[in-house]
Structure 1
Amino acid sequence: MPVPRSPLHGRTAVVTGAARGLGAAMAQDLTARGAKVALIGREESTLARVRDTLPGAARCWSVDVTDDEGMARAAAEIRAVLGPPSVVVANAGVAEGGPFSESDPRVWRRVVEVNLIGSAITARTFLADLFDTHGYFLQVASLASIGAAPMMSAYCASKAGAESFAHALRAEVAHRRVGVGIAYINWTDTDMIRDADRYAVLRELRGHMPPPARKVYPVAQVAGRLVTAIERRRPSVYMPRWLRATQLVRAAMPPVVTMLSRRELPRLAASTPFETTGLLGAGGRADQAGSSTTRS
């Protein structure tokens, strides 16, 4: 019996944060299902290496998702080369950890700019195309959108904002036959998470979560789940599936987190002083280097 062709076959998909990690894995899965993929990220050479490994049609554009004009130029080229997008994945994200009181204001602000404002710019840039194609926008969020954690204030604030933005956008464009989905993901095996484990404050944060919540999932598994949700135009997707249950208890989570933090943080600080991490992972370091070059 022939295998049904994916509804993504021949469609153009845009993936931000595609130089590595989840974005690169989603690009791999999208091209395997027949989509033409536009890879967007800040690292031209790394994007090109990802492009060269993909099994189907793909092109890459080096642009900062917080740059309105740069994103508009990239979008015009994507339309000309690959055709108007039917799928847009706002995946670009950075993270930092450590006490808010000691955080670098520029780094803290950058996390919010990339994760929240960058997602909004991505949506604004491609929304006219999605209107024309009756397409689908996927906002990559996090368990941090549902339950905030200490020592991750910028990341939690930005992901909660991105979730709220996606809900508002969904209601606004539903009558235009554009779907908006939110991906809630937990710990995924990317360089960002591996880098986080080098810092005691973040390693302990994950270590004190319930066993199911501290598990790290293979990036290909997470990417496959999200791409299947894109095929089905899901309003939400949870990886792992049990994350859906946290929606039922999210109102109770802040006081529980506060109670545990009041007990555990002094003990942890006594053994290992907390420190700020800066932007995490190779992607974070590349972003920081790019931002420094822009400022200079």
Structure 2
Amino acid sequence: MSTRTALVTGGVGGIGRAICRHLSEAGYTVAVCDLNGDAAVEFAGTLAGKARGYAVDVSDSTSVASAVSAVNDDLGAVDVLVNNAGIDKIEPFVESTEDTWRAVVEVNYLGTVIVTRAVLDGMIERHYGRIINISSDAGRVGSSGEVVYSGTKGAVIAFGKALARETARNGITINAVCPGPTDTPLLKQVSDRSQRMYDAMAKAVPMKRIGTPDDVAPAVVFFAGDGAAFITGQTLSVSGGLTMS
């Protein structure tokens, strides 16, 4: 795997950090991309293998193009893309605002589209690519207090499935990983709003615990690897059995 370069968006966040670390330990060269460029550079320096950090706003096509160009120059062409960047605000839909809706859509859905488009031509030209979209079980079954977020995560799944059909003949696979309740700053919004809701969520998981970022990252490494070369357009939940299909 030492010749493969993986670009991870939202690479400084909880799940993003675990993904970067697991990919690095698996031998990938890792481009840690995050809105906080300084934190991305600092974190990249802690990884076991070759890695660099980059500032990127996934909702801005100019910023994305600049970051992808820099990764290509510094680390080589992007072989693996992990669309992990995402935001949310836990609140009832009737209390949410249009500014929040637009921000969530622009980062979670359009950000995935923009970054994917920025690396896709190179993957098609090389006849190789692995794209892993970090969706959410909220996008499969819905989640109270995350109505627009759930919509964007469902859109990410549909986007990946449709693009997987278009690009399968080009040696590109596109799959989605859907974390269930996971110990991240986003989930802390739930406990901050209602500890009772948080406790009920943990109790509802058949494995009787909240997931960790390290539970999610191995699924990404699997989809990125050669063992998943004949798997595309699929959605894998990592939820301790909370959702089953």
Change (3 A) 1:214 1:118: farther
Q: Secondary structure, in 3 states, of the residue corresponding to 1:77? A: helix
Query: CA separation in 2, counterparts of 1:213 and 1:147?
Result: 19
Tell me which residue corresponds to 1:136. Answer: 130
Query: For structure 1, which segment, 77-86 or 97-106, has the greater mean C-alpha deviation from structure 2 after superposition?
Result: 97-106
Q: Does 2:143 match 1:149? A: yes
Tell me which residue corresponds to 1:73. Answer: 66
Displacement of 1:104: 2.1
Query: CA separation in 2, counterparts of 1:192 and 1:210?
Result: 18
Change (3 A) 1:245 1:74: same
Change (3 A) 1:160 1:203: farther
Deviation per residue, 1:43-76 (Å, 9 max, x gap): 1221122112100111111010011011111111
Displacement of 1:150: 2.6
Tell me which residue corresponds to 2:100. Answer: 107
Runs of 4+ with deviation above 2 angstroms = 208-215, 232-238, 240-246
Query: CA separation in 2, counterparts of 1:132 and 1:112?
Result: 30
Query: For structure 1, which segment, 186-195 or 47-56, has the greater mean C-alpha deviation from structure 2 after superposition?
Result: 186-195
Change (3 A) 1:205 1:241: closer
Tell me which residue corresponds to 1:122. Answer: 115
Q: What is the identity, as a one-letter code, of the residue corresponding to 2:220?
A: L
Identity between Structure 1 and Structure 2 (%): 27
Query: CA separation in 2, counterparts of 1:214 and 1:153?
Result: 25
Q: Does 2:214 match 1:220? A: yes
Q: What is the identity, as a one-letter code, of the residue corresponding to 1:165?
A: F
Task: Please state which structure has a larger fraction of its residues in helix.
Answer: 1
Displacement of 1:77: 1.2
Deviation per residue, 1:235-260 (Å, 9 max, x gap): 333314746723xxxxxxxxxxxxxx
Tell me which residue corresponds to 1:269. Answer: none
Deviation per residue, 1:247-274 (Å, 9 max, x gap): xxxxxxxxxxxxxxxxxxxxxxxxxxxx
Tell me which residue corresponds to 1:245. Answer: 244
Whether the 8 Å CA contact 2:20–2:32 is kept in 1: the answer is yes
Coordinate RMSD, CA, aligned: 2.0
Change (3 A) 1:158 1:214: farther
Query: CA separation in 2, counterparts of 1:213 and 1:141?
Result: 21
Q: Which of 174, 179, 193 matches 1:180?
A: 174
Number of aligned positions between the proteins: 238
Whether the 8 Å CA contact 2:137–2:237 is kept in 1: the answer is no
Q: Which of 10, 13, 24 matches 2:3?
A: 10
* TM-score after normalising by structure 1: 0.75
Change (3 A) 1:214 1:167: farther
Tell me which residue corresponds to 1:36. Answer: 29
Q: What is the identity, as a one-letter code, of the residue corresponding to 2:137?
A: L
Deviation per residue, 1:64-119 (Å, 9 max, x gap): 00110111111111111111111000000111121222212111211111110000
Q: What is the identity, as a one-letter code, of the residue corresponding to 1:158?
A: T
Return the index of the structure with the highest Cα Rg. Answer: 1
Change (3 A) 1:206 1:175: farther
Q: Secondary structure, in 3 states, of the residue corresponding to 1:28? A: helix
Q: How does 1:246-265 map to 2 (within 5 A)?
A: 246=245
Whether the 8 Å CA contact 1:31–1:57 is kept in 2: the answer is yes
Q: Does 2:220 match 1:230? A: no
